[in-house]
């Protein structure tokens, strides 16, 4: 299933992309694409519905974040060896973990706001993993049982805030609109192998990132297991799993960063496409 949330910010309706290409309103079946709806039982309730009989939503309506009420937005850094190299850093012996504020979450096609005093706002196409079943000290062999599905994430980052202002990475990762997710939450059964998905990102029509999840250092299964050793994971939590090479910071000899009025397009095979225009903070 390809689950969505459609409508104005704060008033999104739960929805599903029907096999005929239409978007159907799930409001009569579930209250939101969030929390217990993402559990195996919640997803089975949607699967049992007669989707073709549900009201059709306007294809022109805003697409919101594909998951609502996310409790934790957990990021994995330096998880592609070639991206670590372009960043001038070694692949870590264990996954690098940091958090992104949930207030950064926005829709896949919403404007991305470049923060005040920003000079180094950057892009990162990433595979997002959406938790569907509480995970606590999960064995690696059983980790995938706790995954509801996957989505595209643009892990927008302000590199000066992240690296040059001392402290933790979170301050460069958490500005409003720095976490576009969606357009869809694609349920786990539709993705045969999350470690073999093509991914790309363009800025103003120029292809900067062109990679695949097969070059991840630590795969989805291991990451769910690993993160659950340090904190419990609840339905709706998101783990975003790192980015392939081609970020602006890594361009030699002159890094390239985003300015207001530019257009980012990004996609992951089977998970849909995002498009954002950058705007200056007011």
pLDDT digits (tens, 9 = 90+) for 141-187: 999 999 999 999 999 999 999 999 988 899 999 999 999 999 999 99
Residue 213, pLDDT above cutoff 80: yes
Residue 53: phi and psi, rounded to 5, are -90, -5
Continuous H helices in the chain: 40-47, 81-86, 159, 220-227
246 and 143 housed in the same domain: yes
pLDDT at 87: 77
The tokens describing 14, both together, are 């739960």
pTM, rounded to two decimals? 0.96
Q: Are residues 80 and 50 in the same domain?
A: no
Domain shared by 87 and 121, yes or no: yes
Closest CA to 139 of 75, 74, 219, 224: 224
67 domain-assigned: no
Confidence bin at 89 (pLDDT 50/70/90): confident
* Model confidence at 4: pLDDT above 90: yes
What average pLDDT does the chain have? 96
Give the range of the structural domain holding residue 258, as residue numbers without chain letter.
73-280
Q: Is residue 24 part of a domain?
A: yes
Domain containing 154 — which CATH number?
3.90.850.10
Mean pLDDT of 185-201: 98
The two counts, helices (H) then strands (E), for the chain are 4, 19
- C-alpha distances in Å from residue 172, one per residue of 2, 158, 227, 274: 31, 5, 21, 21
195 and 103 in a common domain: yes
What is the mean predicted confidence (pLDDT) over 206-214?
97
Proportion of the chain above pLDDT 70, given as a percent: 100
Confidence of residue 214 (pLDDT cuts 50, 70, 90): very high
Same domain for 138 and 25 = no
Sign of the alpha-carbon dihedral angle for 252, 81, 170, 67: positive
Residues 38 and 84 in one domain: no
Number of structural domains, the chain?
Answer: 2
Q: Are residues 244 and 152 in the same domain?
A: yes
184 or 84, which is more confident: 184
**174/270 same-domain check:** yes
Model confidence pLDDT, tens digit, residues 94-141: 999 999 999 999 999 999 999 999 999 999 999 999 999 999 999 999
Q: Based on the fold, state whether residues 38 and 117 are members of the same structural domain.
A: no
Q: Within this chain, do residues 267 and 214 fall inside the same structural domain, yes or no?
A: yes
Query: What does the pLDDT read at residue 92?
Result: 85
Question: Domain check: are 18 and 132 in the same one?
Answer: no
């Amino acid at each position: 299933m390809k689950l969505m949330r459609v409508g104005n910010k704060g008033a999104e309706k739960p929805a599903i992309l029907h096999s005929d290409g239409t978007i159907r309103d799930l409001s009569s079946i579930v209250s939101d694409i969030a929390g217990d709806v993402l559990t195996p039982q919640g997803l089975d309730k949607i699967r049992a519905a007669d989707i073709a009989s549900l009201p059709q939503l306007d294809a022109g309506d805003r697409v919101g974040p594909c998951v609502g009420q996310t409790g934790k937005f957990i990021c994995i850094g330096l998880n592609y060896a070639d991206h670590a190299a372009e960043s001038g850093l070694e692949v870590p012996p264990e996954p690098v973990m940091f958090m992104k504020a949930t207030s950064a979450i926005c829709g896949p096609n919403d404007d991305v706001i470049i923060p005040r005093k920003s000079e180094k706002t950057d892009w990162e196409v990433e595979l997002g993993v959406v938790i569907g079943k509480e995970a606590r000290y999960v064995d690696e062999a059983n980790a995938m049982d706790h995954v509801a599905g996957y989505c595209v994430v643009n892990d927008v980052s302000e590199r000066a805030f992240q690296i040059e202002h001392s402290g933790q990475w979170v301050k460069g990762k958490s500005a409003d609109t720095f976490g576009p997710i969606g357009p869809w939450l694609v349920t786990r059964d539709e993705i045969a192998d999350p470690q073999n998905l093509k991914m790309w990102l363009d800025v103003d029509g120029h292809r900067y990132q062109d990679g695949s999840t097969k070059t991840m250092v630590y795969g989805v299964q291991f990451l769910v297991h690993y993160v659950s050793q340090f904190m419990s994971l609840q339905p709706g939590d998101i783990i975003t799993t790192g980015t392939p090479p081609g970020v602006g910071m890594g361009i030699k000899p002159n890094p390239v960063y985003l300015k207001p009025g530019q257009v980012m397009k990004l996609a992951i095979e089977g998970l849909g496409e995002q498009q954002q225009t950058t705007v200056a903070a007011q």
